[in-house]
Structure 1
């Protein structure tokens, strides 16, 4: 038996697909397809908040430099205000790295609910539903590989044996 994918709730092997304790033998699965749900506004708002947090220090530094020039103070005061503003902008570099990492992960997870469906024993069955696009893609591809490698049952008829056509994902 070959394992194509395995996590806490999903296992794809050369024999079966197991999702949340339910097992679907590959020989009983027909066509496999996926559906995309509507966008999650919560995820998009979170991305916008991260973008605003990234732009905040830059805006603060620019405003500080503009304020320093606008106040028309002595050269020392102007340089001090501008320098402090630039240091604030530079000081958030490590924070910006963390925010960029969160932003990158949000794109990897996606902003839609994704569902995997299959025809099982003649009926459409939802196999999986997740909002994690990266995980969904890994599972979907594992199911494709497993079904491509699964031996196709032979149908014995009056003219001899011939492979039964199967629908692939």
Structure 2
């Protein structure tokens, strides 16, 4: 028996498709297709949080640029306050140093949100003459892996 795909809830083998504890023999599947359906609230929240992260990064960059302009302007207009400018500059440098790990987390969230996507996919089949929903997936990468593995299993099934 050959395994095409396996995760916590789905396993596709050369004999059957196992989804959430249910087993569908490949010989029983007459036709398999997929649909893109209306996103549920959790998927819409994912897209909204991606937008909030985008806005947060843009605002942070603008604030950093304004801070640098302020420090340079304060130093050039009043050279005697250079010592007073060094304290805020040290604070800015410290904040930038601490921002690295936070920025890494934000960028990881961006990458993950684009990998997962903002759509919901369903995989359907005809089994014993009836249409049957096999699985509904909100993770685009996972959906692609599952659907392609089912296709490969059916192509290679005698």
The answer to whether the superposition gives a TM-score over 0.5 is yes
Distance 2:88 2:66 in 1: 10
Aligned with 2:56: secondary structure? helix
Shift in CA distance, 63/86, structure 1 to aligned 2, threshold 3 Å: farther
Q: 1:99 aligns with which of 77, 82, 106?
A: 106
Provide the rounded CA distance (Å) in 2 between the counterparts of 1:129 and 1:110.
14
1:85 aligns with 2:88: no
Residue 57 (structure 1) shift: 3.1
Structure 2 runs not aligned, ≥5 long: none
Tell me the residue number matched to 1:16: 16
Tell me the residue number matched to 1:167: none
- Measured on the aligned residues, the alpha-carbon RMSD in Å equals 2.1
Q: Is the 8 A contact 1:64 1:81 kept in 2?
A: no
1:47 aligns with one of 50, 57, 76: 50
Structure having the higher helix fraction is 2
Relative to the length of structure 1, the TM-score reads 0.78
With CA pairs under 8 Å and 6+ residues apart, which has the higher RCO, 1 or 2?
Answer: 2
Greater Cα shift, 104-113 or 32-41: 32-41
Distance 1:17 1:140, change over 3 A: same
Structure 1: runs of 5+ lacking an equivalent: 152-169
| Post-superposition offset of 1:7 | 1.8
Q: Which residue of 1 aligns with 2:66?
A: 63
Give the number of aligned pairs: 151
How far did residue 70 of structure 1 move? 5.4
Alignment of 1:29-40 (within 5 A): 29-39=29-39, 40=43
Preserved contact between residue 31 and residue 118 of structure 1 (Cα < 8 Å)? yes
Structure with more of its chain in strand, by fraction? 1
What is the TM-score normalised by the length of structure 2? 0.83
Q: Encode CA deviations 1:112-131: one digit per residue, 9 max, x unaligned.
A: 11110111111111100011
